[in-house]
Amino acid sequence: MTARQSYNDEHRALIESAHRLLPGGSVGNVYDDTILRRGAGSRVHDVSDNEYIDYLLGSGPMLCGHAHPQVTEAVRRQIEHGTTFFATHELAIALAEQIVAAVPCAEQVRFTGTGTEATLYAMRVARAARGRDRILKFEGGYHGMNDYALMSTFASGSAELPAAEPDSAGLPGSVADEVLVAPFNDIDATAAIIERHHDELAAVIVEPMQRVIPPLPRFLPSLRALTAKHGILLIFDEIVTGFRLAYDGAQGYYGVVPDLCTIGKVMAGGFPLAAVTGRSDLLACFDPSSRADGRYLPQYGTFNGNPVAAAAALATLDLLRRPGTYDRLFDIGRELMAGLRAAFAEADIPVQVMGEPPVFDIFFTDQTITTYRDTLTNDVAAVRRFNRHLLDRGIFRPDSKFYVSVVHSPTDVEQTIAAFADAARALRDE
């Protein structure tokens, strides 16, 4: 551990308390002994006051950086007027209007507290609207922690598709029978599964960029055509890509419009808020008047459209609409991706740098990656060592993905690329 990473007595005591009080010593996301205290802009500090350039960004939401003054002030103003109502309020209406204006598929909006809830309800809407039970997802695709989403996200790669592999203990055995699984980016195999099972399918749910695997050029357009042909609903899970790849999300970036989509993360600037959006005839399932035709889908939630989170979201979207925001984001990401590739080329270590400039990752393999099963060639032990080397050099990305923010500075980029080079040499010399 370098001096940068030295832990003081308070930090060590908190580590002991965390392992005594929290399963695995964690709130459930990052399992290491970094305990953060504060963040500002592109950087975070731990309780020992070690400073890190942050590429975790709260798992993506902090596109405008930590504690942005405009977002903080909007939240402060709203807190003075109340923190939750369990009733419709003006900020929820204003935010829904902004979402409908931004997201190509959006005609109406139903708010949730988390992305897991949003994907759960999107699939439930599809079942209610189409009158079918089965959902098709893609191997390696992540759609949150609900039962139907936790299928083949962390797949072994040995299953004969479209069979689903449960990802968690405690799931009802019957759930796996309701989920079919196809290989992302293989449109021919996907088409064969859809043709065989189209009468049973309510929807296909997909991350338009699956984790950090971009879609091949014909994949999403062909998937849209296939689902439309059979009247199957297409759901884009844009919890990660919404407002990150572009202001109009992956739908605008890749030019394909689904029937429903889920958004979250970036939208609320670090506050817990997500949404299901899409065609109004589908979101009508949430309207109590749909009881008459048996399609009503109750969706109570104490914090649905929470006004503090809505205030943060409105401030965040205002920042993202400023001219040049996404040009700057992509420029930063491209420079970081190029620096990462160059560092490992210089060290003569084969890697694949995958994704789009606003969010990308590194795989320690010489295998070209276009599908989930290609990622299984990744040397995960090398990834862990790389992350440790980066942390020792003041770069925070504890697990996977580099999330880029619009407030990462030229100095941040320069220091990060230098850390990439140091870490690559350290890996080579181990």
Do residues 113 and 274 touch, judged by C-beta distance below 8 A?
A: yes
In sequence order, what are the residues at sequence separation of 6 or more whose Cβ sits closer than 8 angstroms to the Cβ of residue 417?
A: 335, 336, 339, 340, 342, 343
Give the C-alpha separation, 125 to 109, whole Å: 13
Give the C-alpha separation, 81 to 363, whole Å: 48
Which candidate, 324, 320, 313, places its Cα nearest to that of 247? 320
Do residues 203 and 126 touch, judged by C-beta distance below 8 A?
A: yes
Do residues 276 and 262 touch, judged by C-beta distance below 8 A?
A: yes
- How many residues appear in the chain? 430
Do residues 136 and 201 touch, judged by C-beta distance below 8 A?
A: yes
3-state secondary structure of 412: helix
Which candidate, 260, 259, 268, places its Cα nearest to that of 303? 268
For 80, list phi and psi in degrees, rounded to 5: -70, -20
In sequence order, what are the residues at sequence separation of 6 or more whose Cβ sits closer than 8 angstroms to the Cβ of residue 9?
A: none
3-state secondary structure of 322: coil
416 exposure class (CB count in 10 Å sphere: 0-12, 13-18, 19+): buried
Q: Which residues does the annotation mark as catalytic?
A: 142, 237, 265
Which residues, listed in sequence order, are joined to residue 46 by a DSSP beta bridge? 36
